[in-house]
Structure 1
Amino acid sequence: MPKPTILIVDDNQSNIKILVEFLCTEFEIIVSMSGEEALSIVQKERIDLILLDIFMPKMDGFEVCKRINENHEKYYIPIIFVTASNSDDDIEKGFTLGAVDYITKPFRKIEIISRVKTHILLQDYKNNLEDRVKEEIEKNKLKEKIMFHQSKLISTGEMINSIAHQWRQPLNSINSAVMGVDTLLMQKNIFCKEINQKLEEIEIQTQYMSKTIEDFSNYLNPNKNKANHKLKKIIKKSLTILRTKFSKNKIAYEIIEKSDAEIFCIEGEIIQVLIVLINNAIDALKENKISNPKIELIIDEKKLIISDNAGGIKSNIDKIFLPYFSTKKAQEGLGIGLYLAKTIIEDSNNGKITVKNNDLGAEFTIKFN
C-alpha cells in the first residue's frame, strides 16, 4: 500500500526542513513555498493532506484554503493550518474556511505526527463510509428493479394465460380440419404426395404453436419439469418447424456434431430459443442478399454454436440482448426475441448465451451446464 502524500506549504525553509524531518519516514512529502504553486500541485497530484502556513506573500494560507475547497472537485483534501499565530480570530477564520485542525509553532514532533495520522485516518473512514453508502444505494436500486421486474412477470403470466385460453380452441379446430381433409382424401381414394406433405406441415406447425403456448404458460412456474434431452434431437425439431422457410428462401443448413451431447433442460423452451436465433439468421441472409446462404449448427460437448454467412452484426452488438433493442426496421420487430432467448437460456435453463462476429457473419454460442 503506498504511503499517504502530504503537501507542505510554507515560505520559510527552516519550517519546511523541520516538518520534512518529522514526517518523511512515514509519508511521501511534496513541498511548496507559495500559494500559487500549491494550487497548481493540487490540480496535478493526488494529495492526502495539506500542512498550510497562514502568513505568506502574495497569497496567504486563508486564500489558498478557500480556493482549494471551492475549486478542487476531484476529492476532499484535509487542511491543517500550521502557523505562529494563536489569535482566536485567525483560528476561527481557519475553521470557517474548511480547515480540519490548527497547529501553532513551535512544532512538537509527536503532536504533528499524531494529528496528521488522525486526520488521514478520519478521511479514510469518511471515504469508506461514502463508498458504503453508494454501495447500499445501488443495492436498493437493484432491489427496486427486481421488484419491478417481478411485477412485470406477474402481469406477463396473466397475459400469456389469457392468450393461451383464446388460442387453444382455434388450434384444435385447425387440427380437426386437417384430419377431416386427410380422411376425405382417403375415402375418395385420392393420394397426392404434395398434399400429404403440406397437411403434415400444418399439423407440425399447429402442434408447435400449441406446445409453445403451454411452455409460455409454464414459464413462470418455479416447479416446471426439466429432463435430459439429446441436443441434436432438439435442433432437428427446430429445423423441421422452419423447413418451409429454409426451402422458400433457398438457404442451406448443416448440423456438425462433434460430440453426442445431452443437456438437462426444458425442451420446448430451447426449441423456442433456436427458432428465434435461426429466424434472425434467415432474415439477415435475405436482407443482405447473400449468394450461397448457409447456417451452421455445431454441437461441441454441451455447447451449441449457430453461425451464418450474412456478414455479421454491423453495430451495437453489445446491446443485442437488451429488451426492445432491434437491428431490424421498426415494422419488422419489437426487439424482444433475443432478450427472451437470453432470459430463457440463462434464467430458466441455467445456461449462457453470447454473440460475436466471425469472418463470415454472426456467431451465437449457447453453453449448457
Structure 2
Amino acid sequence: MDNLKPRFTILVVDDEQANVELLEAYLHFEYDVITAFNGFEAIENARKKKPDLILLDIMMPDINGFEVCKVLKGSKDTAHIPIIMVTALSNRDDRAHAIEVGTDDFLSKPVDRLSLKTRVNSLLRLKALQDEILRERDQAQNYLDVAGAMFLVLDTEKHVKLINRKGCEILGYTEEEVIGKNWVDHFIPAYLRDEVNKRH
C-alpha cells in the first residue's frame, strides 16, 4: 500500500553543482527532487512547481538565501512551504537573520545525511497536517459560499475575519475589501451604530 502514497517534492537550491548533486543523492530514493542553481530560479520554481519543502543555500551570487526566503514567505502562494536553510554560516547573527525572514530550520554544511532526513521528515509531517487543515478550511468555506444567507465571523474588536460569497454579494464588496474592516464602523448605518455597540 505504501507505493500508493504520493511522493513529496523537494526543491534543492544551491549555486554549487556538487552540493545540489549530493543532496539529490541523499533524497531521490524517497522524494521527487527538483533543483535550482540561483535565487531567481528558486523563486520561479517554488511558484510554478509548488514543492512540499525547500532546501535553500544562503550564499548565492545573485540574490542570497535570506532574500529568497523573505520573498517566498511574503507571498500568499508560497508562504506555507517549509524552508530549511543549508549553510556554512554558523554565527548567531546569521541564524537570527534567517529566523527573521521566516526560515523553518537549519542544516550546517557539510550536510550530515541523518540530520537531513530527520529534519526533512519532521517538516514534511507538519506540512501534511497543515495541508489537511487548509483543505478542511477550504471545504468549510465552500459550504458557506453556497449558503443562501450571509455568514461572517468577527473578532473581539468587531473586525471581520471571515465572510462568505453571499455576504460579499449582499454588501456589494469584494472579500479583500471586507476582511479586516471594523463591522460596525464600515457596514452598519451611522444611526444604528450606538444601538449595535450597546448590545455587544
The normalised TM-score by structure 2 is 0.65
For residue 133 of structure 1, the aligned residue among 128, 137, 140 is 137
Greater length-normalized contact order (CA 8 Å, ≥ 6 residues apart): 2
Other-structure match for 1:113: 117
Paired position in structure 2 for 1:69: 73
The one of 56, 59, 62 equivalent to 1:55 is 59
Residue equivalent to 1:334:
none
Residue aligning to 2:50: 46
2:73/2:79 contact within 8 Å kept = no
Root mean square deviation of aligned Cα: 2.2
Letter in 1 for 2:16: N
- Out of 5, 9, 12, the position equivalent to 1:5 is 9
Q: Alignment length, in residue pairs?
A: 145
- Percent identity of the aligned residues? 33
Moved beyond 6 Å, runs of 4+ = 140-144
1:124 alignment partner, one of 123, 128, 133 = 128
Task: Describe how 1:91-240 pairs up with structure 2 within 5 A.
Answer: 91-136=95-140
Aligned to 1:276: none
Distance 1:80 1:132, change over 3 A: same
**CA-CA distance at 1:131 after TM superposition:** 2.5
The alpha-carbon distance between structure 1 residues 81 and 74, as it changes in their structure 2 partners (threshold 3 A), is: closer
* Deviation readout 1:290-340 (Å, 9 max, x if unpaired): xxxxxxxxxxxxxxxxxxxxxxxxxxxxxxxxxxxxxxxxxxxxxxxxxxx
The letter for the 2-side match of 1:95 is I
What amino acid does structure 1 have at the position aligned with 2:130? K
Structure 2: how far apart are the matches of 1:21 and 1:110? 13
| Partner residue, 2:34 | 30
Q: Contact 2:10–2:55 (CA<8 Å) still a contact in 1?
A: yes
State the distance in 2 between where 1:134 and 1:44 align. Answer: 21
Aligned-partner Cα distance in 1 for 2:123–2:112: 17
